[in-house]
Structure 1
Amino acid sequence: METARAGDVPEHPTLAEATAVWARIGLMSFGGPAGQIALMHRELVERRRWISDARFLHALNFCMLLPGPEAQQLATYVGWLLHGTRGGLVAGTLFVLPGFLVLLALSTAYVAFHGTTWLPGLFFGLKAAVLAVVVEALLRIARRALKTRAATAIAVVSFLAIAAFAVPFPVIVLGAGLVGLVGARIAPAAFPAGGHGGAGASDDGVVDRKAEAARPTAGRVVGTVLLGAAAWAAPAVLAALILGPDTVLVPIAAFFSKMAVVTFGGAYAVLAYVAQQAVEAYGWLKPGEMIDGLALAETTPGPLVLVLTFVGYLAGFRDPGPLAPYAAAFLGAAMTTWVTFVPCFLWIFLGAPHVERLRRGGVAAAALAAVTAAVVGVIANLTLWFALHVLFRSVETLRAGPLVVAVPDPASVDPAAVALSVVAFVALFGFRVGLVPTLVLCGAAGLVLRLALPA
């Protein structure tokens, strides 16, 4: 399918049509948050024009502030915009489900055979292809979001703040919002609202009506909190009642529920702590196994935080209680995934109606436009991080006072990765080959190269 032309006015998708697209996105969501955001922008904004750039970035701004995987929350938000609560549940679930099933199978193979040497070769080429998609989306989003000098300056400062000083995502986004808020009052010409506020700011007519119908009320807030909390806790309560309070599923639920509310900045923000606790405090993992789990998670679709599913799987397998080890392992993985991602739905369903109201205010809209510019800088950093880890085998973090900079070892450059990335760029930018054929081509080529030239 070709990208929709600017003059086209696509029909609002049915839930069945959207479900098929969400499944497609879930199956192709490689490359971490940068690749996943790029993929959604390509599929939802560029290709189908189900929502506008302004609406997409507005949703992304909010998701950047939340704990948990921002790409999965963005999918949930857009699904909610298109089809309400049902749409959000479908989008968020399908974004995670393929990766969960793949990681479940790989974890089973890991336990049964304890050999994963073929996995990097199988998915090596996919990362090279995703790098081209990420760069394409970054350029497209920057071109639309950075229309003033102030917006460009905010993007540059945000990029430097996170790339050179490791300033957390929420601090950058909140700081940009404050700059936009103040700037709109003292220099309104330099801080326009852009596509965030006012009537006619969006071409999402049906989306606007759906969002208006879900305007926040006290009853809706209380109901959402109670239902979300009940869904969050229900599996742990059932496990304690059926298997007893000593079952490993209870500490799994408690530990990963805590992780779900502190994972600002993505999975890497908590991996060291999880690894330490899983090895030293709980005995769920052996030293070094977190790295194996991370390798599995990096080569599967879905959020990188699915590495926690691997930890839950091994925890259940090694402490099965009255269950068979593989049954306990499955329940441990399922419990971990449930308590990790259910809060993500809660944050969106609770906060999105309030965030949508901010689109109408002039000063608030200007603040959100500044946040959009900051998000461009954040995405640029994600793109740089992803590129370094695709093209180089060794990337170190250098610290000098407040500076925290990722520096690749020039001698570790991967010629095969560079070659595949060039192929992907030429295919996407030069010949306009579709995303799926490019992924298939690079994935097959990567497998052949890794088998012929092992790293």
Structure 2
Amino acid sequence: MNPDIQVPSMTRPYTLKQLATYFLRLGATGFGGPPALIGYMHRDLVQQNQWISEEDYREGLALAQLAPGPLAAQLGIYLGYVHYGVLGATLTGLAFVLPSFLMVVALGWAYIYFGGLPWMQAAFYGVGSAVIGIIAIGTYRLTLKTVGKEPLLLGLFALSALATFMAESELLWLVLLSGVVVWLVKAPPAGVRLGSLSPFLLEVFPAIDSTLWQLALFFTKAGAFVFGSGLAIVPFLYGGVVKEFGWLNEQQFLDAVAVAMITPGPVVITVGFIGYLVAGFSGACVAATATFLPCYLFTILPAPYFKKYGKRPDIKAFVDGVTVSAVGAIAGAVIVLGKRQLTDWPAVVLALIAFGLLYRYKKLPELVLIGAAAVVGLLLRYV
């Protein structure tokens, strides 16, 4: 534990049990994805209970945006670290993730057990169509917020979107290379030559036959290299889970995304559902642990030094490049997934309605849309 990040125990405005209980409740009831979850934390911990200072909250949010991994989970881990160090970070992280993990495992069991029944297929037909609209509006808002009008960032965004659409998977080397390009343009270090840069070597793990080992390596890479909000992991997962390994077909993958939308907590918890479909409960545990462990380490290790180095221009420039490329990959993935899911007019209409409603009513809960879409899917099949 770093003494610089903690305060004496007598000045802590809450107990560790209170904080863990709060994150357990947030993980069990917090719908709406990263923007909603980080808003709840600010409202509850900073404004109402005043457990966390505004400065500590902003620093945690900046670090969560800087590092790869799920934004809301990283912010929660950092806030646990503020007054209780590694133990606080560990307990808050586990409490935040555990409720939604148990829910997706239960849904994975039900999906396999009832998967052959027509009613479940009909419900997921409607849900899958609405999910396309939800992802599309989320991507639209994320693009407006992160890309802006700067020509360099717009170009990298468009390049990443086009490359993802053509390859039907996120090109990780392109995302990281975009970060390097913006870094060299905006805050170049002295003496660096573009020609001296070596290609990124991403496939560093040897081939291993065990499915659990393959799950562990793939999801570790997902947790360690994917930047952005919960949506950012969708194109990366699609490229590996569907295209590379063939663990799931495209409909099953869309169903996995839908499960992430209808459960509270971090959107990335869909990895537990995917892992369950691939290798049962062991697969769910391996996938979830491998995904969240990197973001946990990327939060607690740099936390003591973030105040000193987090505002450096070169670090900010790299993050800007990575972020716009990741958003571009999301945009490309929306087109790919839409092409696969929206195969008839009812599906197209459902997606457009979901997009339009969320565009018009920004506070409309996504869970309401998902539930309504499931009902519509059942009605289309049986009525």
Cα distance in 1, alignment partners of residues 294 and 378 from structure 2:
39
1:41 maps to which of 21, 30, 34:
34
1:263-274 paired onto structure 2 within 5 Å: 265-266=236-237, 268-271=239-242, 274=245
Q: What root-mean-square deviation, in Å, do the aligned CA atoms of Structure 1 and Structure 2 show?
A: 3.8
Q: 1:79 is matched with which residue?
A: 76
Q: 1:170 is matched with which residue?
A: 172
Q: 1:346 is matched with which residue?
A: 293
Structure 1 residue runs of 5 or longer lacking an equivalent are 1-11, 29-38, 64-69, 188-250, 277-288, 313-332, 394-413
Query: Normalising by the residue count of structure 2, what TM-score does the alignment of the two structures yield?
Result: 0.65
**Which structure has greater helix proportion?**
2
Cα distance in 1, alignment partners of residues 332 and 166 from structure 2:
10
Report the secondary structure of 2:237's partner residue. coil
Letter in 1 for 2:164: I
Q: 2:233 is matched with which residue?
A: none
Report the secondary structure of 1:266's partner residue. helix
Which structure has the higher relative contact order (CA within 8 Å, separation 6+)?
2
Report the secondary structure of 1:434's partner residue. coil
1:371-390 paired onto structure 2 within 5 Å: 371-390=322-341
Letter in 2 for 1:127: G
Deviating more after overlay: 99-108 vs 294-303: 294-303
1:234-253 paired onto structure 2 within 5 Å: 253=212
Q: What is the Cα deviation at residue 271 of structure 1?
A: 4.5
Q: Cα deviations across residues 40-95 of structure 1 (Å, max 9, x unaligned)?
A: 234135677569999768636643xxxxxx6xx44432321333222222233334
1:176-325 paired onto structure 2 within 5 Å: 176-185=178-187, 253-254=212-213, 256-261=215-220, 265-266=236-237, 268-271=239-242, 274=245, 297=256, 300-301=259-260, 302-303=269-270, 306-312=273-279
Is the contact between residue 177 and residue 368 of structure 1 (CA under 8 Å) also seen in structure 2? yes
Structure 2 residue runs of 5 or longer lacking an equivalent are 1-13, 44-53, 81-88, 190-209, 226-235, 261-268
Q: 1:415 is matched with which residue?
A: 345
> Is the alpha carbon distance of 1:254 and 1:87 closer, same or farther for their aligned partners in structure 2, counting shifts above 3 Å?
same
Percent identity between the two aligned chains: 18
**How many residue pairs align between the two structures?**
302
Cα distance in 2, alignment partners of residues 22 and 444 from structure 1:
26
Cα distance in 1, alignment partners of residues 126 and 251 from structure 2:
19
Is the contact between residue 156 and residue 178 of structure 2 (CA under 8 Å) also seen in structure 1? yes
1:334 has 2:281 as partner: yes
Q: 2:136 is matched with which residue?
A: 135
1:89-168 paired onto structure 2 within 5 Å: 89-109=94-114, 115-147=116-148, 148-165=150-167, 168=170
Q: What is the Cα deviation at residue 101 of structure 1?
A: 0.8
Letter in 1 for 2:373: C
Q: Cα deviations across residues 130-157 of structure 1 (Å, max 9, x unaligned)?
A: 3333232222222221232222222112
> Is the alpha carbon distance of 1:104 and 1:16 closer, same or farther for their aligned partners in structure 2, counting shifts above 3 Å?
same
Letter in 2 for 1:44: L
Is the contact between residue 124 and residue 443 of structure 1 (CA under 8 Å) also seen in structure 2? yes
Letter in 2 for 1:365: K
> Is the alpha carbon distance of 1:106 and 1:415 closer, same or farther for their aligned partners in structure 2, counting shifts above 3 Å?
same
2:27 maps to which of 7, 19, 22:
22
Is the contact between residue 138 and residue 380 of structure 1 (CA under 8 Å) also seen in structure 2? yes
Cα distance in 1, alignment partners of residues 277 and 336 from structure 2:
24
Cα distance in 2, alignment partners of residues 61 and 428 from structure 1:
28
Q: What is the Cα deviation at residue 377 of structure 1?
A: 0.8
> Is the alpha carbon distance of 1:309 and 1:352 closer, same or farther for their aligned partners in structure 2, counting shifts above 3 Å?
same
